[in-house]
Amino acid sequence: MKQFLRRVLPGLACFAFAAVFAPQGGEAAPKGFLETIRRHAMLASTSPGNGDLNPYAIYLVPQDMGSLKKDEVLITNFNNVNNLQGTGTTIVAYSPVTKNIRLFASAPANLAACPGGIGFTTALTVLKAGWVIVGSTPSKDGTTGTKGDGCLLVFDANGKFATAWKGPDITGPWGNIASIDNGDTATLFISMAAAGLPSPYVLDPATHYPPILHNATVMRFNLHVPPGKPPVLDRQSIIATGFAGRADRDNFLFGPTGLALDSDGTLYVTDGYDEEVTAIDDAVNRTTPVTRQNDAVGRIITRGQLLNWPLAMIWVPGHHLLVANGRNGQVVEIDPVAKKQLYAQWVDNDQAQQPPGNGDLFGLAMTPDNRGFYYVEDDMNTLNVALP
């Protein structure tokens, strides 16, 4: 996320949890998942042999497949060894058994099948059929001034590149991949955040900040998976459009990032720049896209308060949502039914950043026992875990 010199911590470090608190005012918030989290541990460096930096996506391997083992943790890197954003070309795998990180897959920096090159984002998933799908939003100089449209890449379970998907609507695959995986078919939901964004040094004369474009989208991809062959993209549809997108020197860009699909077909989306979580109804079947109305795309679930540039988002026990803040080192728990923010917890209170932990968090994933969660600290290039 941020462009400054990063340090790498070896070994394991544990520390006590920071305070959990509720929004100010009103009655006390109900008991939530974050209230059970007491410990944090640094597990391993996420930087592989080529020196890639800036861990973004986290995804738990669902079962043994190829070289991957059940419950291994896959992590993407967005920066290269020179710390340029949009240039990371590696996916690493953390083993909870060996406690080590290894390189799982890499792509050439100038892969012809991916417009603009390679810069692996937080768009990552593993299909039951043994295929790993990852998004690329690339840059040549670490800014959106040289960005390419990118693509979606498919690797087999041994980390070998198989195919890539590109097209006019695939303009910067950015956020978490929410999915329905039936084995021989799958439906993926991915946000696209880079369309038309200029260099972060191009400023709006009225605000003196980079201009805000309201053209970021969420797309639905319908796939089928032939036996022993890579998945085939049958259909792609824009199901929501009008999210805020903005270039940024330190954060590369702002756009819709966290995607979480509910069992009733509702897709929840974090809009980072507008600091809100919205809901897209009937995301699985809808044939027309939700558009921006009254300064939001979809139904507003919650906005502002504890949210501070919300990024990745996952489901946690209690049918609540957990969101990582981009502008401080907090995660925020939300009850989407009650439309309430319940708690925030400091998982990274690094005083070197202001606010503490600013720009350090990104990806999230639950632990196999569903009692804790993995997260990255991208200033340290580490995978961490939060536990009861």
- Whole-number Å distance between alpha carbons of 89 and 185: 27
The domain total for the chain is: 1
Residue 173 included in any domain: yes
Residue 195 included in any domain: yes
Q: What percent of the chain has pLDDT over 90?
A: 89
* pLDDT for the residue numbered 9: 35
Residue 309 included in any domain: yes
* pLDDT for the residue numbered 19: 46
Q: Which of 2-16, 172-186, 192-206, 222-236 has the lowest mean pLDDT?
A: 2-16
Dihedral sign, Cα of residue 356, residue 37, residue 262, residue 293 = negative
Q: Which residue has the tokens 């009103």?
A: 26
* Per-residue b or e along 295-315, where b marks 16 or more CB atoms closer than 10 Å to that residue's CB: ebbbebbbbeebbbbbbbbbb
Indicate the SS3 state at residue 346. strand
Q: Which residue has the tokens 């890449």?
A: 153
- pLDDT band of residue 294 (cuts 50, 70, 90) is confident
Q: Which two tokens stand for residue 291?
A: 């558009």
Residue 5 included in any domain: no
Backbone phi, then psi, for 204, in 5-degree steps? -70, 125
Query: Is the model's pLDDT at 271 over the cut of 60?
Result: yes
Q: Residues 368-388: what's their mean pLDDT?
A: 97
- pLDDT band of residue 7 (cuts 50, 70, 90) is very low
* pLDDT for the residue numbered 24: 45
Return the closest-CA partner of residue 342 out of 384, 302, 282. 302
State pLDDT tens for residues 137-157. 999 999 999 999 999 999 999
Return the closest-CA partner of residue 133 out of 102, 107, 103. 107
* pLDDT for the residue numbered 315: 98
Q: CB count, 10 Å around CB of 97?
A: 8
- pLDDT band of residue 217 (cuts 50, 70, 90) is very high
Is residue 298 within 8 Å of residue 323, measured between CB atoms? no
* Per-residue b or e along 165-182, where b marks 16 or more CB atoms closer than 10 Å to that residue's CB: bbeeebbbbbbbbbbebe
* pLDDT for the residue numbered 121: 98
Query: Is the model's pLDDT at 11 over the cut of 90?
Result: no
Q: Residues 274-278: what's their mean pLDDT?
A: 97
Q: Which of 9-13, 200-204, 210-214 has the lowest mean pLDDT?
A: 9-13
Give me Rg for the CA atoms of the chain.
19
**Most confidently predicted of 227-231, 350-354, 356-360:** 227-231
CATH code of 373's domain = 2.120.10.30
Indicate the SS3 state at residue 336. coil
Query: Is the model's pLDDT at 31 over the cut of 80?
Result: no
* pLDDT for the residue numbered 28: 54
Range of the domain at 308: 13-387
Residue 1 included in any domain: no
CB-based contacts of 25, cutoff 8 Å, min separation 6: none
Residue 131, exposed/middle/buried by CB under 10 A (0-12, 13-18, 19+)? buried
Residue 6 included in any domain: no
Helices (H) and strands (E) counted in the chain, each on its own, are: 0, 29
- Whole-number Å distance between alpha carbons of 21 and 37: 12
Residue 367: alpha-carbon gap to chain centroid: 16
Backbone phi, then psi, for 256, in 5-degree steps? -65, 130
Q: Residues 264-287: what's their mean pLDDT?
A: 97
* pLDDT for the residue numbered 352: 85
* pLDDT for the residue numbered 353: 84
State pLDDT tens for residues 334-344. 999 999 999 99
Q: How would DSSP label each residue in 259-312?
A: EEE-TTS-EEEEETTTTEEEEETTTTT-SS-B-EETTEESEEEEESTT-SSEEE
- pLDDT band of residue 354 (cuts 50, 70, 90) is confident
Residue 3 included in any domain: no
CB-based contacts of 67, cutoff 8 Å, min separation 6: 104, 157, 158, 159
DSSP state of 65: B
Q: What percent of the chain has pLDDT over 70?
A: 92
Query: Is the model's pLDDT at 25 over the cut of 80?
Result: no
Mean pLDDT of the chain: 92
My answer on whether omega of the bond before 23 falls inside 30° of 0, hence cis, is no
Q: CB count, 10 Å around CB of 106?
A: 21
**How does strand 213-224 pair with strand 20-21?**
unpaired
State pLDDT tens for residues 109-118. 999 999 999 9
Q: Residues 105-124: what's their mean pLDDT?
A: 96
State pLDDT tens for residues 304-342. 999 999 999 999 999 999 999 999 999 999 999 999 999
Residue 30 included in any domain: yes
- pLDDT band of residue 297 (cuts 50, 70, 90) is very high
CB-based contacts of 238, cutoff 8 Å, min separation 6: 169, 217, 218, 219, 220, 289
Query: Is the model's pLDDT at 176 over the cut of 50?
Result: yes
Is residue 125 within 8 Å of residue 223, measured between CB atoms? no
